[in-house]
Amino acid sequence: MYGLIIILLPLIFGYLLPLRHTTLLQAVARTLSALVYIILFFMGTSLAFLDNLSSNLLAIFHIALVSMLSILACSLLALWLLERRWPWRHQHKPQALPSRLHMALESLKLCGSVLAGFLLGLSQWAPLRHASTISEYALMLMLLLVGIQLRSSGMTLRQITINRRGMLVALVSLCSALVGGVMAALLLDLPIKTGLALASGFGWYSLSGILMSESFGPVIGSAAFFNDLLRELITIMLIPLLITRQRSMTLGLSGATSMDFTLPILQRTGGMEIVPAAIVHGFIMSLLAPILIALFSA
C-alpha cells in the first residue's frame, strides 16, 4: 500500500497543477531528464550491494530476456491480427531517416548511468548505503513532474475519444503486453502480479526500472529496465521496416514513447497522418504505465 501511495499521489498532484508557462515547462523537462539519470545511477549502486552478485546479474538478464521476448511475441501477434482485421489505409511514402544507430545510442546513454552507479557501488562506500532512501524521494519528485508534463500536453478526453485508431491500438497494445507478462511469469516461475508489473512499462524504460526497484528490489527493477530498453531498441530498428504495411503494429510497438521519443521517427516514416494517433496512443500508455505498475506492485 505504501508503494502505491508514493507512486499515485505525486502523479495525481502533478497532473492537477495547471502549469502553462513555457519557461517553467522547459525547466520541468530539464529537471525530469536529470532526475532519470540520478535515480538510475542509484539503482546501479543498489545492485552493487546485493549478496551473491554474480548469480543475481545472471538472474537480471535472464528475466529481462524472457519477459521481453514473451511480451514482444504477444504484441506482434495481436497487432498483426488487428491490422488484418481493420487495415490502416494511407497514401504516405516513407522519407529518409536519420541514423538509427544514433537514436539507439541515445537510449543506451541511460545504461551508462546504471553502470556508473554499479561500478561506484562496488567500492562499498558507506554513504552509498542510503541510495534507496535518496532514490525514493527523487522518484516522488520525478512522478510529480511526469504528472505536470501529462497535464501540459493539452490532451483532452474529447481529443482522445475522437481518434479511434490511437485508442484501438492502445487497447490492443495494453492487453497483449499483459498477456505476455503472464506468459513470462509462468516461464520464469514468478508471481503473476510480478509478470504483469514487468509488462506494464510499455517500453518506458526510464520509468519502469525505477518504479519496479522501489517495489520489488534491484534485481526485478533492473530486469524491468533492460526488458523495456531492449523493446525500445528493437522498435527503433523495426519502424522503417514495418511502417508501410503494418502501421498499427509500428505504433503499438512504440508503446508509451510514441508521444515523445519515437514520435519524430513515426512522423518521418508514416507522415503527419500518424501523428494524432501516435500522441493519443502515447498519452494513454504513459498515463497507464505508472498506475498499472503501482496496482500490480501493491
pLDDT the model gives residue 186? 96
- 140-147 average pLDDT score: 82
Give every CB contact of residue 228 below 8 A, 6+ residues apart in sequence: 201, 202, 203, 204, 205, 208, 209, 255
pTM for the model stands at 0.77
Radius of gyration over alpha carbons of the chain, in Å?
19
pLDDT confidence of residue 107: 62
Q: Is residue 2 over pLDDT 60?
A: no
Distance CA 158, CA 256 (A): 20
Q: pLDDT confidence of 102, banded at 50, 70, 90?
A: low
Top-confidence residue, 125 or 180: 180
Does the pLDDT of residue 73 top 90, yes or no? yes
Average pLDDT over residues 101-124: 75
Band (pLDDT 50/70/90 cuts) for residue 246 is confident
Q: How confident is the model at residue 135 (pLDDT cuts 50, 70, 90)?
A: confident
C-alpha cell at 32: 525530469
Q: What is the mean pLDDT of residues 227-234?
A: 85
Q: What is the pLDDT of residue 75?
A: 94
